[in-house]
A and B are shown apart, each in its own frame.
Chain A
Amino acid sequence: MKLSTKGRYSLQTMVYLATCKENCSIRSISEATGISSGYLEQLMIPLRRAKLVVAERGVQGGYRIARSGITCHDVLSASEGDFHPAPCQDCGRSEACKTHQIWSLLQNAVVDYSKQVYIEDLASHLVEQEVGGGI
């Protein structure tokens, strides 16, 4: 039971951006996270669309986190879509199936907790360790 690579990398990218005071180039994000530049460009598309990151052109251009108060849930729903632990939404037996609601419980637990964790709080643990672009 794991998140997709896309989801995990998007979280790492957002945590890194939250440590940066200025715009970050794809190259600097790549150096900090070890994620390839090409893949980062892909990750940025849904994050920009969800208005979680802002891209600026020009010499001082790059990416920055769009606002404070972004949760892990915001990032994961942008990058992975809705979280469904089991493909029950397309199943015609869900009325009769007693296990169906078990997966809803799992879904609720994961969604609820992800909404409580803020990217900037994760980033603050990094800043304490003196790692991250802002230092």
Chain B
Amino acid sequence: MKISTRGRYGLRLLVDLAEHRNEGPVALSQVARRQELSEKYLQQVALMLTRGGFLTSVKGSGGGYQLKGNPEKIAIYDVLDLLEGTITFAETAPGQESAIERVIRLHFYQNLDQEVRKVFENISLAEVTRAEWFTYMI
């Protein structure tokens, strides 16, 4: 199980924009420099985050991207759910699922998904930005 590059870079983009949200629209070239990520790749992720309702884009000179909502209210779960398609271990029950596959899905993967959901639903973008998630580790 891996979080995709899109998920990882997208979250870094959001954290960077949350940190600089008082500066007006931020050009992706700045984010790319600060985060040492490819600007081209950030453009793709930014487009997806805009369509998903997390960012607004401002066109023209001085334009760029801004966070759309309040970072206190953005759950990391929702961000990753968009970027990853879905963050679940359980595969959607296929028609010819064997009895063994079914037992593992119902009694392991689905519970695992609940654990992952619990972790990410309770962390907001603002908490990541302030690095407050650290208290969850203890």
Interface residues in chain A, defined as those with a beta carbon under 8 Å from any beta carbon in chain B? 1-4, 8, 11-12, 15-16, 32-34, 72, 83-87, 93, 97-99, 101-106, 108-110, 112-114, 117, 121-122, 125-126, 129, 131-132
Contacts and interface: CB of A to CB of B under 8 A. Distances in A.
A131 B98 CA distance: 10
A15 B103 contact: yes
A2 B1 contact: yes
Contacts of B36: 93
A121 B108 CA distance: 10
The interface size bin for chain B is 35 or more
21 contacts: A1-B88, A2-B91, A11-B104, A12-B100, A33-B100, A34-B98, A85-B2, A87-B2, A98-B15, A99-B8, A99-B128, A101-B131, A102-B133, A105-B137, A106-B116, A106-B119, A109-B115, A110-B112, A112-B115, A117-B107, A117-B111
A129 B99 contact: yes
Contacts of B91: 2
B12 A1 contact: no
Contacts of A4: 1
Contact of A16 (B86, B100, B134): B100
Interface centre among B8, B100, B103, B133 (most CB of A within 10 A): B100
Given A1-B3, A85-B1, A129-B99, A101 B115 contact: no
B119 A12 contact: no
